[in-house]
Amino acid sequence: MTGLNTEWAMGQLDDFIAATDLTYVPSPPHSIGFHSYKTAQPEAEVVKKAQVIEQILDRVVPGWRGLDVDTDRKKWAVHHEAVIRAREQLARQQEIADNLGENAPQISAAALHPWVWSGAASLWQSGHYHSAVEDAAKKVNAETQNKVGRRDVSETDLFKQAFSLDAATPGKARLRRMTPDDSDTYKSLQRGAMALAEGIYAGIRNPLNHELADEELDEQAALEYLAALSVLARWVDDSTVERAQGDKA
């Protein structure tokens, strides 16, 4: 998995499995139904380990919070089973890739541009892919507004004006993907950014907000939408800002 230190992750998973191993504590004498379970390590230690473990699980076992596990008097049961699954996935990932067909490159949502993933992360991890894409689109729009200092336009109109070939005017800064010149390359870069933004906000963001508002996205489609947003975010982030003389940054 891209960017993941597998050896380190497996060590963390092993440590958590040992920490959350359960011991059955029977009901007190002359009582029934008061049994419980005790983890191998104290609750405070398990909580600290869970902070890291949850981030590993989000990468390796998407949707792990929804596992159907017996949690009766077993607070960490879902985490424990998810960690066992994650460890097996990491230990056998090459074998799985080799035997399930195409060993194609994979995209990690967490490796997308920070504007996109920070906007989508919490909703994505809970399986709300539709809302995650919407919030990522809002985040990219907001960061672009911040970069050019605009609040009067948004989404498609914002990007059309930001990447316009026209010179900056007071209150209307431009984004330049390369040093402006009269070359076809410069014009293509600017036009391409405008076209991508229009495609994203007209073809993805608006339908999700209107016609498809009540339909959930499947994970693959949502990931592809986030990838498109990530390309746009990188283009905006890497662009220089051109302002009219006298405009403040």
Residues 153/229, Cβ–Cβ less than 8 Å: no
Give the model's pLDDT for residue 199.
96
Q: Are residues 119 and 89 in the same domain?
A: no
Query: Per the confidence metrics, is the pTM higher than 0.75?
Result: no
Measured CA to CA in angstroms, residue 55 lies from 12, 51, 229 at distances of 11, 7, 23
Asked whether residue 238 falls in the same domain as residue 119, the answer is yes
Residues 133, 35 within the same domain:
no
Question: Is residue 141 one of the residues assigned to a domain?
Answer: yes
pLDDT band at 94 (very low <50, low <70, confident <90, very high): confident
Domain residues for the domain of 200 are 109-242
Q: Does residue 1 lie in a domain region?
A: no
Residues 19 and 129 in one domain: no
CA distance 52 to 34: 32
Residue 169 DSSP symbol: B
What pLDDT band is residue 33 in, cutting at 50, 70 and 90? confident
Torsion of CA 206, 222, 190, 143, to 10 degrees: 80
Number of domains making up the chain: 2
Chain mean pLDDT for the chain: 91
116 C-beta neighbours (distance < 10 Å), count:
28
At 107 the pLDDT is 78
Q: What is the pLDDT of residue 4?
A: 84
Identify the pLDDT of residue 153: 96
pLDDT at residue 209, rounded to an integer: 81
184-200 and 219-238 helices cross at what angle (nearest 10)? 140
Nearest to 204 by CA among 107, 109, 138: 138
Does residue 248 belong to any structural domain of this protein? no
pLDDT at 165: 96
Query: Does the pLDDT of residue 102 top 70, yes or no?
Result: no
Q: Are residues 176 and 143 in the same domain?
A: yes
